[in-house]
Structure 1
């Protein structure tokens, strides 16, 4: 009976010892875990003081993920990203953690930092909205008010530059159009000049051809005239009788002449006889 009771007590003591051991382990683990994010946070702050902002941002992000609920490191994370010139990361951090800010002052500071991150990215319209939200929560913040006026000035300057750029572009387009028109006009004038020269050359060629034609006609007339004389000579030649015919005619003429001479001679002889037979 005593043994049974002792066994139960021993069993109960063992269970309690195990429970204590488990709790001790959990306590140690929790302390180590808690010490781990705190150590990481310390490393982040050390890197930030050394101006190694990229490294500090990495440690802050690690510490924030390991920190218990209620621990907000967004301000330090945002400042590290801003100092590292990772303005888009800083903007995202401020936007995501706006809901974690309980007081109006904390919300105003967060919006102020958000506006600064947007200003660095030349998002002046977004910066104006952030600064206005900050002033709604803290109207007396002169830094935010100054930054708001600076953002508005940047917007006006940007609009003036864009307007000037558009005017220059339009002027450039106008100049290009004028140059194109002038070029087209010059090309047309050159083409007209070429056509005029071509027409003049064509007229000259026609006049030359006409002169040559007239000269050719004159030469032809001259050749015809010369050819006509030759042709007349040929016609005269053709008009001459053949040698045989000419000989016959010449013989006939000679015979006729001889006959005429004989007749004349006979006529003279008879007259003498008549004179001599006359009685004086």
Structure 2
């Protein structure tokens, strides 16, 4: 039993030594890749430096130097958004204020290049929290705040201009709509006036042909002046009755006069015949 425990303990120690060896080997490779990257970086071969730093980060993802230096190599190639990713990681895993200060300072630089002044101000502020005495960080922080203020003023002016343009456009649209409405009202009024004029003309034409003849004023149905016959129609309440009676009386008078004249003529003829007979008789005597 005791021997078995000794055997297990030996295995654990062996595994520990192996792990330390592997870790040491990995650390050695990470350091070697970082040194290689630094050499390329000093020569301005930033793409080669990037490749070496990436190998170092793959060997040890928690390496502060590998991530920070990789961010620098990307920054030098103007790949600012990619550099921001590695600066952020470096700031997160850093354990010392100096390392955090450097990571946040370079984050501010990268955001300045992207013209993201608000994030630049925020990261310079974090850098100053970790090293308040760094003159470069204080200068960049002041510059970022000034750029942010100008950007905000510019945006404010743009918003005011946009609002003014929108208001002018709205006023113009209202003016056009009002003009359109006025034109429509004018056209509608002209149409109404035209319609009224047409009705007035029609009424005048009707009045010309509808003046009643005398004798029908008291009837419900007035006589029409455009009838071809001069005769007046009789209304429901005796329209034209007086004139019809007068006409009938006149006819009766003429008839009586003719009859009287004829009677006179007959009497005269009879008288002449009588006188003639008397004359003849006297001759015969």
Q: Secondary structure of 1:228's match?
A: coil
How far residue 193 of structure 1 moved from its aligned partner, in angstroms, is 0.7
Q: Work out the CA distance in 2 between the residues paired with 1:265 and 1:138.
A: 177
How far residue 204 of structure 1 moved from its aligned partner, in angstroms, is 0.7
Q: Does 1:97 align with 2:90?
A: yes
How far residue 200 of structure 1 moved from its aligned partner, in angstroms, is 0.8
Q: Measured at CA, do residues 268 and 202 of structure 1 come closer, stay the same or move farther in structure 2, by a change above 3 Å?
A: farther
Further displaced range: 188-197 or 39-48 = 39-48
What are structure 2's unaligned runs of at least 5 residues?
Answer: 1-20, 213-222, 234-242, 253-259
8 Å contact kept, 2:64–2:90? no
> Number of aligned pairs?
233
Deviations 1:35-60 (A, max 9, x none): 86577556645654675645532331
8 Å contact kept, 2:26–2:60? no
How far residue 168 of structure 1 moved from its aligned partner, in angstroms, is 1.8
Q: Work out the CA distance in 2 between the residues paired with 1:156 and 1:34.
A: 46
8 Å contact kept, 2:124–2:137? yes
Q: Work out the CA distance in 1 between the residues paired with 2:106 and 2:263.
A: 154
**TM-score, with length taken from structure 2:** 0.63
1:11 aligned residue: none
Q: Does 1:139 align with 2:141?
A: no
Q: Measured at CA, do residues 72 and 50 of structure 1 come closer, stay the same or move farther in structure 2, by a change above 3 Å?
A: closer
2:8 aligned residue: none
1:204 aligned residue: 197
Deviations 1:109-148 (A, max 9, x none): 2221121122223332222222223234433432222211
**TM-score, with length taken from structure 1:** 0.64
Q: Work out the CA distance in 2 between the residues paired with 1:35 and 1:105.
A: 24
1:262 aligned residue: 273
The structure whose Rg is larger is: 1
How far residue 192 of structure 1 moved from its aligned partner, in angstroms, is 1.4
What are structure 1's unaligned runs of at least 5 residues?
Answer: 1-26, 241-248, 274-280
